Chain A
Amino acid sequence: MTRYILRRLIYTIPVLLGVSLIIFILFNLVSGDPTALLLGKNATAKQMVELREQLGLNKSLWLQYLDVVKSAFTFDFGRSWQSKQEIMHMVKMGAYPSLALSIPAFTISTILSILISLVVAFYRGKGIDLFIRILCIAGMSISSLVYILVFQWYFGYYLGWFEISGFEQGFPNFVPYVALPAIIWIVLSLGPDVRFFRTIILDEIYQDYVRTARAKGLGEKTILLKHVLRNAMIPIITYVVIQIPFLILGALLLESFFGIPGLGGMTLNALNSSDFPVVKAMAILSSVAYILFGLLTDILYTVADPRVKLK
């Protein structure tokens, strides 16, 4: 297993090279010369030339790409072109609000979906099953933007139950601010999650071992909770863990509508202002997270099901 993990870690190298290459190419194609933007509306041509020099944009493309690769492996991203802030510090500051929203929302929605899908599986084929399935599908058929607009207006403003927008550092100060976006998050993910988990659980219910268990006279509830859930854990874990790296980026729309100063907003802002060092940092960090959590999924496999061997 150690060898497997090592091999997978080495595998990050070509992926990081690929990511830095794609980001580098796209950025060079996309934004051209960022200096006019960085110097503001009264920029002079002379100053633009000076700035290009300072940012290292006069170097050959090859050398510029080497710089990108270097930062991909050292995690030294330098400072933002736009705000001149240190990027790792920006990431740290942004990760807190992003995670303050995404971790509770994600945890609650996952647990809730598993519970609901167990209930649905228990009553499979009955009215409540059909009702919840339709509710899930209906819920998934509305744009997330609509949920945000309507919930913010109704619960935040009209009923005044929640803070409309903003964020404060530190627990429990942030709770009133993240509550409503977290609820929207949960509503948004319940539909797909329940549908997926229900399928997984039903998949297990029709396996032979369940029939054997039933023949032994075990109650349906015991079978569901003890045997089925355990076996369904593998696909559920995969599904859940693979989503985690994307949590770090936060929920772009939720963050911008609820004024949460997270990483999603930061990334969008960087894209919108040609802030290449920040774009680069976010792309590299998120791909590292993606690879690491992929690895974690594999390791969890072996824990959930000892039969799985990692080669």
Chain B
Amino acid sequence: MKLFGLILLIASFLVGCSKEQNFDERVIYLISPEKIAGFDPINASDMYSSNEMGKVYEGLFEFHPLKRPYELMPNLAEAMPTVGDDGLTYTVKIKKGVFFQESPAFKGVKRELKAEDFVYSIKRLADPKLMSKGWWTLDDKLVGLNEWRAKYAQAEATNYADEIEGLKKVDDYTIQFKLKAPFPQFLYALAMPYSFVVAKEVVDFYGKEFLNFPVGTGAFVLPKFEQTNRLVYTKNPNFREKFYPSEGEDSDIANGLLADAGKKIPLVDKIVVDIIVEAQPKWLGFKRAKNDLLEVPKDNFQEVIVGTRELTDDFKSKGIRLHAEAQLDVTFISLNNQNDLFKDNKKLRQAISLAYNRAQANKLFYNDTAIEAQGVIPPGIAGYRKEFKNPYTKYDLVLAKKLLKEAGYPEGKGLPDLVVETRNDTSSRQILEQFADNMKDIGIKVIVGQNTWPELVNKVTTKRNMMYTMAWGADYPDAENFLGLLYCPNQSPGSNGANYCNPEFDKLYKQAVVLQDSPERTALYEKINEMVALEVPWVFSFNRTKYYVTQAWLKNYKFMEFNHTQFQYLNVDLEVKKQLSKKF
């Protein structure tokens, strides 16, 4: 009994340790489900790092926070660029009177943003010594940049003073880019965090520690990245005159998203980001009002949502709002098209696809909210055609068995066990357990192989796999970003992990990617997508829908696929928070 007594005694000391809420400061509480490595924009390769960097750093362009389909607008650029008649020369004017945040590197001087800074920042992206994860965005694109990179690949240090023909400042407020060949996705590349602008003085001042001292031009300041699990951003007191947009979609007015139209941003004093990896604490924290915005974990779906778009009464009574939005992504089970089994055996690939019960998977893992993928391009991106239904993604065991027989494996006889590689988390395992179950119905035995991330990457890049699961999210809203996954020259170790090679596909792909956005290009994208869909290079799975819940007091939130710039627009209603907090 003493044992219990003592435990209770200690416990009671600690009770009430739970913290009180503060209603005076305008603070937003957010969550990052993954660790943040550092604050060097050239390495912002994942969504979560990008989100953090987007609070401090800025780029020339950004996606409009309200307009859909996604549309670029100038940010640090004065206006959208002027493009020369050849379609290769882009001239960008930048805003005057924009200043970097304060830093000891500037020695007390207010440092204005100049065209030179962009030239420097993009050279950093290409610097062979820095090995940026974003180099692919400009690889082989700008005149002279690859040569510059190659020149210093073996050298001790990179010389930034060299002039590069394709990347020049015209004057202090004008930059000129020259492309090697038409590259319609170029402006998207300039909107990605990789090309966010940094100041040379700061990089030189901190040296290798630069990644812990973010100094940008953005709306929020983080004096030092402490590598802890909590990041506290404060409002940048010297932020330029930037205003909340006054245009959006029709529904935005009704949703209160234009209430702050025309107001100077940022609208809050602080943003607190907690890094929480496990699902349970994240979710319990939201239910205790510890954070304002959370993606609904699939396993808590029933607790939150009735049907597909309605919150439960309990959540409604707390003023919580639901945001359900289709993602620009595709999940699939990649088949290794250079494996003897799948190579030249289209019928086997089709049989597997036909035996996969997507409706069941949708119900179990996505609560019936995902869209069954018909091809490579997801809805929301030009090239997706709603009317197109892939005949091989329906659930048809009879046809599957027939094709399996024609493929040379009647009732699975003679077919070796198929191993599908996946990551080592619980959901990945469950998704494949169901897939394996389905395959059993046509006589195929599937073994689920769980891997750590490095193992999986290695199995993919070295082609040592039969099948693996994958989800691909858009880097920018252009079908090129998806179709490239099946382009033969991109095969492993490149992004074509299925090692799919189809000369006809490659020819059409090369034609399409140099075209500017136009109806012809869209038609060509549609054609390629539908052609390759019938070939079943992957078992197409889903285009997922993301569900977010926000607390009643969080204002101006609208789902964004490319969301690293969206946080500067958020607002908080402290009155509402004060009233509602009693209910939590």
Is the pairing of A and B real?
yes
Chain A residues with a Cβ under 8 A of chain B? 30-34, 36-45, 47-48, 50-51, 54, 79, 82-86, 89-90, 93, 97, 108, 112, 116, 119, 128, 131-132, 135, 149, 152-153, 155-157, 160-169, 175-176, 179-180, 183, 186-187, 190, 256-261, 265, 269, 271-274
**Cβ contacts A to B, 17 pairs, < 8 Å:** A33-B462, A39-B131, A41-B472, A42-B133, A45-B493, A48-B493, A85-B211, A93-B228, A128-B1, A160-B18, A163-B19, A165-B278, A165-B281, A166-B276, A176-B19, A259-B274, A259-B275
B227 touches A90 (CB 8 A): yes
A47 and B131 contact, Cβ closer than 8 Å, known pairs A84-B38, A93-B227, A169-B228:
yes
B153 touches A257 (CB 8 A): no
What is the total number of residues of chain B having a CB less than 8 Å from a CB of chain A?
66
A42 and B475 contact, Cβ closer than 8 Å, known pairs A79-B208, A163-B18, A272-B452:
yes
The minimal Cβ–Cβ distance linking B69 to chain A, given in whole angstroms, is 23
Residues of B with C-beta under 8 A to A37: 453-454, 457-458
A85 and B38 contact, Cβ closer than 8 Å, known pairs A153-B284, A163-B17, A272-B453:
yes
A175 and B17 contact, Cβ closer than 8 Å, known pairs A37-B457, A135-B3, A165-B276:
yes
Which residues of B449-505 have CB atoms within 8 Å of chain A's CB atoms? 452-455, 457-458, 460-462, 472, 475, 493-495
B360 within 8 A of A: no
Residues of B with C-beta under 8 A to A157: 284, 287-288
B15 touches A82 (CB 8 A): no
Closest-by-CB residue of B relative to A157 is B284
B131 touches A50 (CB 8 A): yes
The minimal Cβ–Cβ distance linking B505 to chain A, given in whole angstroms, is 19
Residues of A with C-beta under 8 A to B185: none
A261 touches B275 (CB 8 A): yes
A165 touches B228 (CB 8 A): no
Pick from B16, B281, B458: contact of A258, CB below 8 A: B281
A119 and B2 contact, Cβ closer than 8 Å, known pairs A44-B139, A183-B10:
yes
B35 within 8 A of A: yes
B136 within 8 A of A: yes
Pick from A47, A175, A257: contact of B14, CB below 8 A: A175
The minimal Cβ–Cβ distance linking A85 to chain B, given in whole angstroms, is 6
A132 touches B3 (CB 8 A): yes
Which residues of B206-226 have CB atoms within 8 Å of chain A's CB atoms? 208-209, 211-212, 226
The minimal Cβ–Cβ distance linking B33 to chain A, given in whole angstroms, is 11
A164 touches B38 (CB 8 A): no
A166 and B208 contact, Cβ closer than 8 Å, known pairs A31-B454, A43-B494, A261-B227:
no
The minimal Cβ–Cβ distance linking B214 to chain A, given in whole angstroms, is 14
Alpha-carbon gap, A168 to B277, bound state (A): 16
B229 touches A156 (CB 8 A): no
A186 touches B280 (CB 8 A): no
Once A and B bind, how many residue pairs between them come within 8 Å at the CB atom?
186
Pick from B136, B212, B281: contact of A164, CB below 8 A: B281
B7 within 8 A of A: yes
Residues of A with C-beta under 8 A to B472: 41
Residues of A with C-beta under 8 A to B137: 42
Residues of A with C-beta under 8 A to B277: 256, 259, 265
The minimal Cβ–Cβ distance linking A129 to chain B, given in whole angstroms, is 12
Pick from A30, A36, A51: contact of B461, CB below 8 A: A36
Residues of B with C-beta under 8 A to A271: 452
Closest-by-CB residue of A relative to B281 is A165
B399 within 8 A of A: no
The minimal Cβ–Cβ distance linking A252 to chain B, given in whole angstroms, is 12
A164 touches B454 (CB 8 A): no
A162 and B454 contact, Cβ closer than 8 Å, known pairs A45-B493, A153-B284:
no
A167 and B211 contact, Cβ closer than 8 Å, known pairs A40-B133, A160-B18:
no
Alpha-carbon gap, A135 to B7, bound state (A): 14
Q: Which of A163, A183, A259 neighbours the largest number of chain B CB atoms within 10 Å of its CB?
A: A259
B18 touches A257 (CB 8 A): no
B37 within 8 A of A: yes
B128 within 8 A of A: yes
A32 touches B458 (CB 8 A): yes
Residues of B with C-beta under 8 A to A166: 229-230, 274, 276
Residues of A with C-beta under 8 A to B211: 83-85
Residues of A with C-beta under 8 A to B227: 85, 89-90, 93, 261
A152 and B280 contact, Cβ closer than 8 Å, known pairs A32-B458, A132-B3, A163-B18:
yes
A167 and B229 contact, Cβ closer than 8 Å, known pairs A36-B493, A116-B3:
yes
A187 touches B7 (CB 8 A): yes
B495 touches A41 (CB 8 A): yes
Pick from B208, B228, B494: contact of A86, CB below 8 A: B208
A179 touches B17 (CB 8 A): yes
Residues of A with C-beta under 8 A to B134: 40
Can you name 7 extra interface pairs (CB under 8 A) apart from A31-B455, A163-B18, A180-B14? A41-B472, A44-B139, A45-B494, A85-B212, A86-B209, A161-B11, A161-B16
Residues of A with C-beta under 8 A to B52: none
B124 within 8 A of A: no
B458 touches A31 (CB 8 A): yes
**B121-139 near A? 1/0 per residue, CB < 8 Å:** 0000000110101111101
A261 and B229 contact, Cβ closer than 8 Å, known pairs A40-B45, A84-B40:
yes
A186 and B7 contact, Cβ closer than 8 Å, known pairs A33-B461, A42-B136, A85-B38:
yes
B282 within 8 A of A: yes
A160 touches B288 (CB 8 A): yes
B288 touches A164 (CB 8 A): yes
Pick from B2, B229, B454: contact of A116, CB below 8 A: B2
Alpha-carbon gap, A190 to B275, bound state (A): 31
A164 and B284 contact, Cβ closer than 8 Å, known pairs A36-B457, A50-B128, A269-B35:
yes
B6 within 8 A of A: yes
Which residues of B246-300 have CB atoms within 8 Å of chain A's CB atoms? 274-278, 280-282, 284-285, 287-288, 290
A256 and B278 contact, Cβ closer than 8 Å, known pairs A43-B136, A183-B7, A186-B7:
yes
The minimal Cβ–Cβ distance linking B47 to chain A, given in whole angstroms, is 11
Closest-by-CB residue of A relative to B4 is A135
Which residues of B121-176 have CB atoms within 8 Å of chain A's CB atoms? 128-129, 131, 133-137, 139, 153
Alpha-carbon gap, A130 to B290, bound state (A): 44
Residues of B with C-beta under 8 A to A45: 493-494
The minimal Cβ–Cβ distance linking A132 to chain B, given in whole angstroms, is 6
Residues of A with C-beta under 8 A to B285: 164-165
B43 within 8 A of A: yes
B494 touches A47 (CB 8 A): no
Pick from A39, A86, A179, A190: contact of B133, CB below 8 A: A39
Alpha-carbon gap, A307 to B128, bound state (A): 65
A164 touches B290 (CB 8 A): yes
Residues of A with C-beta under 8 A to B17: 161-163, 175-176, 179
A50 and B495 contact, Cβ closer than 8 Å, known pairs A156-B284, A157-B288, A258-B281:
no
Alpha-carbon gap, A38 to B134, bound state (A): 11
